[in-house]
Chain A
């Protein structure tokens, strides 16, 4: 392995692993900082290239956190993608494993029920906030709003497979109406 590649891989770990532990609320909360690092500080790619990767990660299958895998792929190939994935999700996952394990220990504690029941409505509100963000980012035309509404309705009231809905929406978009 070349020194150059090793250095890139090490840089990916140095940038992503600490951010992993502060990414409360999900992968998008650290997006501005990663953007600053890879575009402004390291100059690995242009602003437009970063925006392309972001769009690609949103549209391609896989959780949105794979955006950081794409950044790794862009600078370090397949190995870069693997290292970026582990650096981005590894530390937070270890913390989650320990925390959720501790949480299970207190399953019978009298305070567990109220804590869980009290926090859940907040989680519901945050889900609506995510939905709101997605709608705001995706829907710029009346037809796009209609596609969103149709996808929501079909999910709620039919057994339509989500992939079928996504593909149908892509087909609608290809007609040029969106």
Chain B
């Protein structure tokens, strides 16, 4: 599927010269197991901080593309990272680590949970996990935003995207279709 005539891949970060297929699988399995209530925070931690498969800036830029494409953002991210290092086989390994391996862990847990009668204790613990997971997402958003803090226009663009989705409740597609071209023109003119 991926021939040798493929154009050169974007330069990998220096800390990741070669990533074996098994590492891709394990990396995304680890990501899956450490994500509760939102996968983007652990994705940033595993892919950028821990494994160095993406730089902080790359993470944000690729994430933008993954958000515009249909499908869960973190799955698209896995397809990109896996595909970048190993073509179709890498994408498949990342997909399997992220989605199929957790099935083996989660399905038995679900069966146990269903048999447990879903008691109040478990529900209470869930509430705590959800609150902490929200905090992890806040922290990751701040980390990802950090490189843009010196550009007032970039901050404005991010603020408008946030306001459109969270405060005005516009469909995500509309927000992206309006703001992305503005951003592209601004970047083209060197305003960002």
Do A and B associate with each other?
A: yes
| Chain B neighbourhood of A132, CB < 8 A | 162, 166
B103–A93 touching, CB < 8 Å:
no
Complex interface: chain B residues within 8 A of A117 (CB)? 61, 183, 187, 192
Is A32 close to B, CB under 8 A?
no
Q: Beta-carbon contacts of B88-106 to A below 8 Å, as 1s and 0s? A: 1001000100111011011
Per-residue 0/1 for B159-172: is the Cβ within 8 Å of any A Cβ (1 yes, 0 no)? Answer: 11110111000001
Contact B139 A151 (CB under 8 A): yes
Q: Which residues of B contact A60 (CB under 8 A)?
A: 36, 106, 109-110
Tell me whether A63 is interfacial, beta carbon within 8 Å.
yes
Say yes or no for A64: interface residue by CB 8 A criterion: yes
Name A120's contact: one of B60, B99, B105 (CB within 8 Å). B60
The smallest beta-carbon distance between A133 and chain B, in angstroms, is: 7
Chain B residues with CB under 8 Å of A103's CB are 65
CB distance from B128 to the nearest CB of A (A): 3
Q: Determine the distance from Cα of A150 to Cα of B133 in the docked complex, in whole angstroms.
A: 11
Please measure, in the bound complex, the distance between the C-alpha atom of A152 and the C-alpha atom of B134, giving whole angstroms. Answer: 8
Q: Is B21 an interface residue (CB 8 A)?
A: no
Find out whether the CB atom of B84 lies under 8 angstroms from the CB atom of A64.
no
Given the known interface contacts A64-B72, A96-B76, A168-B132, the answer about A162 and B34 at a Cβ–Cβ threshold of 8 Å is yes
Shortest beta-carbon distance from B64 to chain A in Å: 3
- Nearest residue in A to B163 (C-beta to C-beta)? A125
User: What is the distance, in angstroms, from B110's C-beta to the closest C-beta of chain A?
Assistant: 6
Between B95, B123, B160, the greatest number of chain A beta carbons within 10 A of the residue's beta carbon is seen for B95
Tell me, rounded to whole Å, the shortest Cβ–Cβ distance linking B107 to chain A: 6
Q: Find A20's partner among B9, B66, B70 (CB 8 Å cutoff).
A: B70
Q: Of residues 54 to 102 in B, which have CB atoms within 8 Å of A's CB atoms? A: 57, 60-61, 63-76, 79-80, 83-84, 88, 91, 95, 98-100, 102
Say yes or no for B48: interface residue by CB 8 A criterion.
no
Residue of A119, A162, A170, A174 touching B136 (CB-CB under 8 A):
A162
Q: Which residues of B contact A40 (CB under 8 A)?
A: none
Q: List 7 A-B contacts (CB under 8 A).
A: A62-B33, A100-B65, A118-B192, A120-B148, A128-B158, A138-B127, A163-B34
**Contact A21 to B70, CB < 8 A, known contacts A152-B136, A166-B133, A174-B125:** yes
Interfacial residues of chain A within 123-139, with CB under 8 A of chain B in the complex: 123-135, 137-139
Q: Are A118 and B185 in contact (CB under 8 A)?
A: yes
CB distance B148 to A166 under 8 Å? no
Interface-central residue, A145, A165, A171, by most chain B CB under 10 Å: A165
Contacting residues, chain A, for B33 (C-beta < 8 A): 61-62
A81 close to chain B: CB less than 8 A: yes
**Interfacial chain A residues near B88, Cβ < 8 Å:** 97
Please judge, given known A-B contacts A114-B187, A151-B136, A162-B45, whether A105 and B7 are in contact too, CB under 8 Å: yes
**Interface flag for B52 (CB, 8 Å):** no
Proximity bits, B130-173, A CB within 8 Å = 1, else 0? 11111111111111110010010011011111101110000011
CB distance B125 to A173 under 8 Å?
yes
Say yes or no: A126-B161 contact (C-beta < 8 A), given A26-B72, A115-B184, A121-B154. Answer: yes
Who on chain A is nearest to B33 by CB? A61
Whether a CB of chain A sits under 8 angstroms from the CB of B16 is no
Taken together as a complex, chains A and B put the C-alpha atoms of A151 and B142 apart, in Å, by: 13
